Structure 1
């Protein structure tokens, strides 16, 4: 069967919502290749380009919405991430005034001057992403934004929340399954903001941003609802919580992981709480977005 390729036919979306017309309908079980632009709209390609001057609004163009045939509220959409390919030979990152974990922002105003704007262009070759001899990193691709539509509101493509969104968690990578709640008929799936790699927290606000081809397969889990995005790898179960302050994101992620352990693996909730206190792990997806995203994890061998 020929792989269905999905390219945005018109304007990209900058919100996650049910109010746009779907760009394509996909059947459960179908494998598709989704083409995405980078967070800079593919408009930053050299060190002299300035995102603050080039971008008219917030970054993160999304491919979608993609209508999943048969998806209904109360279902769970399982997205099997099969492969990520860069569609060009470079990645871009930047320091942008008003964005980042160590610079004044609208949410954390300070007397200090904002960080000066600077663009970094990295070459992608031979499994490495390279800026210079000191700054050369392995190719570690993952999806920054992956979401279904919220039930009523339209949320910015910068926002992570219960629907998924801009979680920027390196765990959304090939080989893993991302579980998302279905809030509206058809699910209205979106994705974009693909990265060639990222450190915990996405400290400056931009990872190694790339344009990409994302190959995935959709599966519907009928009649099973989840409250927050989940991820499954060959060895781990993970839940993503997004909130401010960061400790609330941690509480959400761990509480939802306890619920998963209880529902699907027969754990007593208090025993699960005790187990996670001893062998649970947590990583930071982002510490710069409208909400912060934390990932709670447990190795499957303990289940």
Structure 2
């Protein structure tokens, strides 16, 4: 297998069937440096416009509609010592009557200590003078070209992935995307140094990264929505608005996964989900919301293929 160092010469604010920027074989590794969500590079020089300029697309040989693209997130290393956020809760995550009481939102700078692996406000806020967070890198926006030749804004998400802003999509996670175009056409960008559930101020701590991923084609997987695994959990993703529709997509796909790969019928899977499921909120700021349906692997025995 080959490792490719991918240095983009162009960036995209859509995920779609664009001309490939790099072609790799299934199982190859790609190392690339990303811009932040506003298009600034590791030297804080603006190289592209927002929102969420993507590196790519990467054409993966052998990927065809109906397959899945397996994306292993191997490493994420910050490439600068600052990140930024907005400073106030988004209007859509509080009661309408509370919106008028919110102060104006401003861009706020955060300091990233790459040696200590910590993140803190560059200028302390009253009451948060000792507020230090562990560095928790994650990819906010990534995915594959959608069906029917569509090109969809990196501000949102769908079956193809996109701007999901789910905090468990970091190093050690494996994510599968349903392939809808030849070569899959994989995009990634929008790295966060840390983020809470929901991206409820409209950002994580936005910064730049060197990201290493391994891309592998899994034939005839017939996925509908992104799926993921971490060391401890299996996860299905639903992207939609309203929030209950995203939850329905994620739960339906988890039911399908449990019955197809873990030897459970619908009744057994229902009992299991009813008592052990965990729901995480990926993004409730952008046009499509993201819900992650998560089950601990400790409850599961994977069916062995013949």
- TM-score w.r.t. structure 1 length? 0.89
Deviation of 1:225 (Å): 1.4
Tell whether 2:7 aligns with 1:7: yes
Partner-residue secondary structure (3-state), 2:23: strand
Tell whether 2:111 aligns with 1:123: yes
Distance 1:232 1:114 in 2: 38
Distance 1:233 1:298 in 2: 10
Q: Is the 8 A contact 2:70 2:216 kept in 1?
A: yes
Tell whether 2:146 aligns with 1:146: no
Q: Is the 8 A contact 2:237 2:291 kept in 1?
A: yes
Q: Is the 8 A contact 2:62 2:183 kept in 1?
A: yes
Distance 2:140 2:269 in 1: 29
Distance 1:180 1:61 in 2: 19
Deviation of 1:266 (Å): 1.5
Q: Is the 8 A contact 1:171 1:231 kept in 2?
A: no
**For residue 288 of structure 1, what is the aligned residue in structure 2?**
285
1:34-77, Cα deviation, whole Å (9 max, x unpaired): 2110001117999xxxxxxx999751100111101110000000
1:114-164, Cα deviation, whole Å (9 max, x unpaired): 751311111111110011333321100010011000012211101111000
Q: Is the 8 A contact 1:93 1:120 kept in 2?
A: yes
**For residue 28 of structure 2, what is the aligned residue in structure 1?**
30
**For residue 76 of structure 2, what is the aligned residue in structure 1?**
84
Tell whether 2:298 aligns with 1:301: yes
Distance 2:292 2:257 in 1: 14
Farther-moved stretch of structure 1 (110-119 vs 173-182): 110-119
Q: Is the 8 A contact 1:101 1:205 kept in 2?
A: no
Deviation of 1:220 (Å): 0.9
Deviation of 1:270 (Å): 2.4
Partner-residue secondary structure (3-state), 1:261: helix
Q: CA RMSD in A?
A: 2.6
Question: Using a 3 Å threshold, how does the CA distance of structure 1 residues 5 and 43 change in structure 2: closer, same or farther?
Answer: closer
- TM-score w.r.t. structure 2 length? 0.88
Tell whether 2:149 aligns with 1:157: no
Moved over 3 A (4+): 43-46, 54-58, 99-104, 108-115
**Count of residues paired in the alignment:** 290
Distance 1:245 1:44 in 2: 36
Deviation of 1:112 (Å): 3.6
Distance 1:140 1:259 in 2: 31
Partner-residue secondary structure (3-state), 2:110: strand
Partner-residue secondary structure (3-state), 1:192: strand
Deviation of 1:176 (Å): 1.1
Deviation of 1:235 (Å): 1.5
The 5-angstrom pairing of residues 168-183 of structure 1 reads 168-183=165-180
Q: Is the 8 A contact 2:72 2:174 kept in 1?
A: yes
**For residue 254 of structure 1, what is the aligned residue in structure 2?**
251
Deviation of 1:3 (Å): 3.5
Distance 2:144 2:168 in 1: 18
**For residue 42 of structure 1, what is the aligned residue in structure 2?**
40
Tell whether 2:136 aligns with 1:137: no
Distance 1:44 1:298 in 2: 37
Partner-residue secondary structure (3-state), 1:294: strand
